[in-house]
Amino acid sequence: MSEERSFAERLAHLIATVHPPDRKPYSYREIAHGVAEQTGVTMSATHVQQLAVGARKDPKRSHIQALAQFFGVPVTYFFDEQVAGQVDRQVEDVVAWRDSEARNLAQRAMRLSPRDRETVTALLDQLSSYDDTRHREGRRRKPE
């Protein structure tokens, strides 16, 4: 059985693995901003970094709860090896599926004619534009 991981190791693992499929891990600044936006709990990017590398050993309860909420894991992830193992396996499954799905799409696209690949690219561009517009409009305040 593996040695129990520290809070910092578990947080660093979440940072490295839990992020949208089309990008690299969140920066410490993005995490601090996301935590504040989702939970109202404020912490600096430096504080997040110190927690992730183990420079700060005793995080506040509110910070632990906010980080768990940001990453979508139970608070017990940080303290219970069994829960952490279960969550990590679920994350691994999602990452593996995500990677294999992207690979499958790329392989299928390569079998298309150049003209059809251009059509698929145009459709992806339209979907991306639609998502960007929807995301921007969702952040605006609605008139009263």
Total residues belonging to the chain = 144
* Helix, strand, coil content of the chain in percent (nearest 5): 70, 0, 30
Tokens matching residue 80: 């219970």
In whole angstroms, give the CA distance from residue 90 to residue 14.
12
Q: What percentage of the chain has pLDDT greater than the value 70?
A: 90
Q: Enter the pTM of the model.
A: 0.67
Task: Assess whether pLDDT exceeds 70 at residue 2.
Answer: no
In whole angstroms, give the CA distance from residue 13 to residue 26.
12
pLDDT, one tens digit per residue, over 28-55 is 999 999 999 999 999 999 999 999 999 9
Question: How far is C-alpha 60 from the chain's CA centre?
Answer: 22
Of residues 127 and 99, more confidence is placed in 127
Integer angstrom CA distances of residue 127 from 86, 121, 130, 131: 34, 10, 5, 6
Asked whether 31 and 48 are in contact (CB, 8 A), the reply is yes
Give me the CATH code for the 7-80 domain, please: 1.10.260.40
Segment 68-73 mean pLDDT: 96
Of residues 60 and 1, more confidence is placed in 60
